[in-house]
């Protein structure tokens, strides 16, 4: 993957560092502290920092993953990002089982109707834009959550491995969820190269990926990481059924929509494993982590809602302009 073009002074410094151009680290970090999820420069810089822990970039030495200056720079970027997350999505914790609290958190979430729009109203261009944005995470689906495997023990570890094994196709490369997503991308005429659309997507799309990576690379947030995964699994079945129906309405074959139908079936099972075996199991071992689990889930729901709201608003604006013209 090529390094993306910068979106401001923070990403410009980082990309220059990765390309071997020496310059002093910025003396101050200026970001949008009220809406850091929408800060293009911040989110791109964070995404590039985290990507060094995944596949890296063409022409960039693997040693950059542990470059002390880059790690120090990332820590400075993470400070306003983490402060906003903890101030925005801190849930109330009760004595109920964590799985029950997760269910209540999800049942009271009232996000924008993105899945319903894609099901019944989206045209092919809108569906294509949705998939293009989703590719930033889906082409490395499950990888951030796999960071949690060596940090767990006992039933919680077994539960996470069971979920991840399905995500990676159960040993069959063609059944890996990232590969199924590539088939959907090719149906829409999209480039399925890993990271190809990073330069094109908005900050909120990068923020969704960055949230997972933030939890993944910090052992302190292992509880949030499993809570994030549980929220994804527990909210997946109905939206993916709608995505599959929308894709079929727009002409997708069974194979081209299989990424979505696979999640309808798999996540109905994963939901139970994630909520009870993984999250309840981890909370039984670490009672003090209940709040972190719920925090990770709340962050997942919150950022997904921001993404959906942003996408629907842009489509509405485009439709209004077309009507006006």
d(CA 152, CA 19): 36
- The number of C-alpha atoms within 13 Å of 289 and in the hemisphere containing its C-beta is 22
pLDDT of residue 318: 79
d(CA 20, CA 209): 26
d(CA 127, CA 245): 12
C-alpha torsion sign, points 228, 231, 234, 240:
negative
* Residues whose CB is less than 8 angstroms from the CB of residue 28 and which lie 6 or more positions away in sequence, other chains included: none
d(CA 295, CA 203): 22
pLDDT of residue 160: 98
Going from the first residue of the chain to its last (325 residues), give the mean pLDDT of each consecutive group of 10, the final group possibly shorter: 96 96 84 95 98 97 97 97 96 96 95 96 98 97 97 97 95 95 98 98 98 98 98 95 98 97 85 96 97 98 98 88 62
pLDDT of residue 114: 97
User: Are 106 and 62 a contacting pair, CB within 8 Å?
Assistant: no
* Residues whose CB is less than 8 angstroms from the CB of residue 85 and which lie 6 or more positions away in sequence, other chains included: 211, 214, 299
pLDDT of residue 324: 60
* Residues whose CB is less than 8 angstroms from the CB of residue 225 and which lie 6 or more positions away in sequence, other chains included: 144, 145, 147, 148, 212, 215, 216, 296
Terminal Cα-to-Cα distance of the chain (whole angstroms): 39
């Amino acid at each position: 993957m090529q390094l993306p073009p910068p979106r401001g002074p923070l990403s410009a410094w980082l990309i220059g560092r990765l390309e071997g151009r020496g310059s002093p680290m910025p003396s101050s970090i200026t970001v949008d502290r009220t809406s850091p999820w929408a800060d293009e420069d911040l989110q791109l810089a964070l995404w590039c920092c985290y990507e060094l822990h995944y596949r890296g970039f063409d022409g960039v030495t693997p040693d950059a993953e542990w470059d002390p200056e880059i790690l120090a720079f990332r820590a400075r970027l993470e400070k306003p990002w983490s402060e906003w997350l903890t101030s925005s999505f801190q849930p109330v914790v009760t004595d109920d089982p964590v799985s029950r609290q997760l269910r209540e958190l999800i049942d009271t979430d009232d996000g924008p109707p993105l899945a319903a729009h894609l099901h019944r109203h989206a045209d092919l261009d809108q569906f294509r834009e949705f998939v293009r944005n989703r590719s930033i995470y889906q082409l490395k689906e499950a990888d951030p959550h796999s960071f949690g495997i060596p940090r767990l023990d006992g039933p919680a570890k077994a539960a996470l491995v069971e979920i991840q094994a399905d995500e990676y196709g159960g040993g069959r490369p063609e059944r890996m969820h990232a590969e199924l997503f590539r088939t959907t991308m090719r149906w829409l005429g999209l480039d399925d190269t890993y990271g190809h659309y990073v330069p094109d997507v908005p900050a909120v799309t990068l923020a969704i990926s960055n949230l997972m990576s933030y939890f993944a690379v910090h052992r302190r947030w292992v509880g949030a990481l499993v809570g994030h995964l549980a929220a994804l699994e527990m909210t997946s079945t109905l939206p993916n059924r709608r995505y599959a129906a929308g894709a079929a309405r727009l002409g997708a074959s069974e194979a081209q929509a299989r990424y979505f139908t696979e999640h309808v079936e798999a996540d109905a099972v994963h939901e139970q494993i994630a909520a009870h075996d993984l999250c309840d199991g981890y909370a039984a071992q670490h009672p003090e982590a209940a709040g972190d689990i719920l925090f990770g889930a709340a962050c997942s729901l919150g950022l997904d809602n921001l993404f959906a709201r942003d996408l629907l608003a842009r489509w509405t604006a485009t439709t209004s302009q077309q009507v006006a013209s």
